[in-house]
Amino acid sequence: MNIFPETLDPDETKPYEFDWAGQIESGDSLASQVITLVSDGGGATVPSESIVGTESRIFLTGGTSGQQIVFTVRVITTNGLVLEEAFGVNVLATTDTAAVESDVDRITRELKEIRAYRHEIATGEAVIRMSRNGRSMMAQRLSIDEYNKLIRELESDLSKAKQLADGKPARRPMKLRYHR
C-alpha cells in the first residue's frame, strides 16, 4: 500500500494524485477508473475524481483526526490493461497541536514529576516494604540526593531551553584576557 506523505485535515477537500506512467506502455492512457473506499477513516468521502492523461486524481474530504483513509484505485487503459493500487492517507486536524510539546513544557513537566517523587521519599510514601520467609526488605526509587542532583540538572536544562525559546544564545560570550 502506498501512503501519501501529506495528511488530510477533516475540514478540507484535497486532491491526491498518482501517476501510472511507469506501469503502462508509451502511448497508452487511462480510459476509466473506479475508486473504492476500503476504510473511510472515520467518515471520509470522495466528492470527485478525475483522469488527466496517465494520472489518477482523487479528491478526499472529511474523516476523523488520528484515523487513516484507505482506498483502492482500479484503472483500465485504452489498450485494455487493468491495474489496481491501494493507497492510505492519514487524517490529522490542524488544530491537534497537543501532540507537539515544546522543550520548555516537557522539562517543566518532568521537573514537576521529579519534585513530586522527591516529596514522596521525604514523607516516606515511596518506601516499599516487602517481606518473604520472615525476612523484611525496604526499597525506594532513588535517594533524595539523587533526586536533588536530577532536579538541578533539569533546572539547568530548563534555563537553557527558555533561552533558546526566547532566541537568546545558549552560551554567554567569553571574555578573553591577554596576559604578558
DSSP assignments along 130-165, one per residue: EEETTEEEEE-SS-HHHHHHHHHHHHHHHHHHHHHH
How many domains would you assign to the chain?
2
pLDDT of residue 131: 61
Residue 115 sits in a domain of what CATH number?
3.30.1580
- pTM of the prediction? 0.53
Higher-pLDDT residue of 166 and 156 is 156
Query: In sequence order, what are the residues at sequence separation of 6 or more whose Cβ sits closer than 8 angstroms to the Cβ of residue 67?
Result: 39, 41, 42, 90, 91
Based on the fold, state whether residues 65 and 119 are members of the same structural domain: no
Q: Which domain holds residue 79?
A: 2-90
> Could you give the angle at which helices 144-165 and 103-122 cross, rounded to 10 degrees?
160
The SS3 assignment for 180 reads coil
pLDDT of residue 87: 92
Q: Report the C-alpha gap between 19 and 87 in whole angstroms.
A: 13
Q: Is 122 exposed, middle or buried (0-12, 13-18, 19+ CB in 10 A)?
A: exposed
Number of C-beta neighbours around residue 112 at 10 A: 10
Based on the fold, state whether residues 10 and 69 are members of the same structural domain: yes
Higher-pLDDT residue of 18 and 136 is 18
Of 90, 123, 139, the one marking the end of a domain is: 90
Of 90, 121, 154, the one marking the end of a domain is: 90
Based on the fold, state whether residues 63 and 36 are members of the same structural domain: yes
Average pLDDT over all residues of the chain? 83
Based on the fold, state whether residues 84 and 113 are members of the same structural domain: no
Cell 560570550, located at residue: 173
Based on the fold, state whether residues 83 and 107 are members of the same structural domain: no
Q: On the CB side of 5, how many CA atoms lie within 13 Å of its CA?
A: 0
Based on the fold, state whether residues 82 and 108 are members of the same structural domain: no
Residue 5 is given by DSSP the state S
Based on the fold, state whether residues 14 and 54 are members of the same structural domain: yes
Based on the fold, state whether residues 49 and 110 are members of the same structural domain: no
